[in-house]
């Protein structure tokens, strides 16, 4: 993970795109910035995909997405598997739902046509297979009928998703399309933010957590590992700190892993979540990883995050 020069991104998603003109036309893609990507698909800015460039299918809307991918490569793997469920090796042959629609001229399996049911059924399957089942993923729905279709499919399968995968909804509050919800004027701007425009595109939600850890590591207040009790030498190892606001419990990342895995330590490598040994509050593994990668690989990002905003001069002050 830390061989890369960049920290874990604040957001990376795999999304489901639907034509508002022809609802049966669907597209799957990935992006770290859904609002910008939607503009590209709708031809408002350069970019987008050839498959979404037909004017008679525009405008498009994002009706759902999966977030929480640790980076571009991880999202691309999931996107490819969801787009090609008939041949993806991430899906065991005994569990495969979609099958090839014949053969191409070159002999390769032809991809079956996407339908909302096929996408949602394969999405449910991919979130359960070993390749992705322990990833820190969240599922978002922005259209009520798509969320309803998801619930209907979930009622037909025997194996549920693990309870740590959050299913979130954020529907149109009334009269505002996804394209129009991003506004820079009027006092009601915040009220208009919904769906993809309400997703955090930067590290702002981590500001309190990062402020705390900066103080701990800058002033060498690591103390003893809260798991193995060994003294933590400043700058001599990979350490992580509890994300809960009033807790400064710090430990070796390997100790955190072993503690959070608990009885699963003999079978699994990557934890999902657990309780802090010090404050007993909930700790999510990806939160530890995101903060540590940001602290180690994202110096510029941390400086930008913690930089105090300039105070705007009032009109009276400007006239002095």
What is the Cα–Cα distance from 291 to 8, expressed in whole angstroms? 8
What is the Cα–Cα distance from 32 to 73, expressed in whole angstroms? 12
Dump pLDDT digits (tens) for 44-65. 999 888 999 999 999 999 999 9
The pLDDT value given to residue 244: 98
| Core vs surface per residue 14-24: b (16+ CB within 10 A) or e | bbbbbbbeeee
The pLDDT value given to residue 312: 62
Which is nearest to 292 in space by CA: 67, 7, 5, 4?
A: 7
- Beta partners for residue 18, in sequence order: 26, 61
The pLDDT value given to residue 104: 86
pLDDT at 183 over 60: no
Q: Which residues contact 252 (CB under 8 A, 6 or more apart)?
A: 225, 227, 228, 230, 232, 237, 238, 239
Q: Which superfamily does CATH assign the domain made up of 205-306 to?
A: Zinc/RING finger domain, C3HC4 (zinc finger) (3.30.40.10)
**Residue 274 half-sphere exposure toward CB, CA atoms < 13 A:** 20
Quote the DSSP letter at residue 204: G
Least confident range from 3-17, 155-169, 172-186, 278-292: namely 172-186
- Provide mean pLDDT across the span 193-202: 95
pLDDT at 1 over 70: no
Quote the DSSP letter at residue 167: E
**Residue 240: burial class (beta carbons within 10 Å; 0-12, 13-18, 19+):** buried
Indicate the pTM of the whole model.
0.89
Domain boundaries, the chain: 13-201, 205-306
If pLDDT is split at 50, 70 and 90, which confidence band does 218 have? very high
pLDDT over 90, % of the chain: 77
pLDDT at 184 over 60: no
Q: What is the residue-averaged pLDDT of the chain? A: 91
The pLDDT value given to residue 186: 47
Output the six-digit token pair for 208.
Answer: 């309190």
For residue 126, give the H/E element and its range: helix 116-126
Dump pLDDT digits (tens) for 143-152. 999 999 999 9
175 three-class SS: coil
């Amino acid at each position: 993970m830390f061989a890369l020069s960049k920290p874990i991104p604040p957001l990376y998603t795999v999304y489901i795109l639907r034509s508002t003109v022809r609802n049966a036309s669907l597209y799957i893609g990935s992006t770290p910035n859904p609002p910008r990507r939607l503009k590209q698909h709708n031809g408002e800015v350069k970019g987008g995909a050839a498959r979404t460039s037909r004017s008679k299918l525009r405008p498009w809307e994002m009706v759902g997405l999966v977030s929480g991918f640790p980076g571009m490569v991880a999202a691309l793997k999931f996107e490819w598997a969801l787009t090609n469920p008939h041949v993806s090796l991430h899906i065991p042959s005994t569990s495969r739902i979609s099958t090839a629609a014949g053969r191409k001229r070159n002999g390769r399996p032809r991809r079956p046509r996407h339908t909302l049911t096929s996408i949602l059924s394969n999405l449910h399957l991919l979130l359960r297979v070993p390749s992705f089942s322990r990833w820190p993923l969240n599922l978002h729905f922005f259209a009520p009928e798509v969320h309803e279709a998801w619930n209907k499919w979930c009622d037909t399968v025997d194996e549920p998703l693990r309870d740590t995968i959050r299913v979130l909804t954020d529907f149109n509050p009334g009269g505002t399309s996804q394209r129009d919800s991003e506004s820079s004027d009027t006092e009601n701007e915040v009220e208009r933010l919904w769906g993809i425009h309400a997703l955090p595109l930067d590290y702002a939600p981590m500001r309190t957590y990062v402020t705390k850890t900066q103080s701990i590591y800058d002033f060498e207040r690591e103390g003893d590992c809260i798991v193995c009790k060994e003294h933590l030498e400043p700058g001599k190892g990979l350490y992580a700190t509890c994300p809960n606001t009033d807790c400064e419990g710090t430990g070796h990342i390997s100790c955190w892993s072993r503690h959070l895995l608990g009885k699963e330590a003999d079978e699994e490598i990557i934890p999902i979540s657990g309780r802090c040994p010090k404050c007993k509050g909930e700790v999510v593994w990806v939160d530890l990883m995101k903060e540590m990668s940001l602290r180690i690989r994202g110096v510029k990002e941390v400086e930008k995050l913690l930089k105090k905003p300039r105070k705007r001069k009032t009109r009276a002050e400007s006239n002095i």
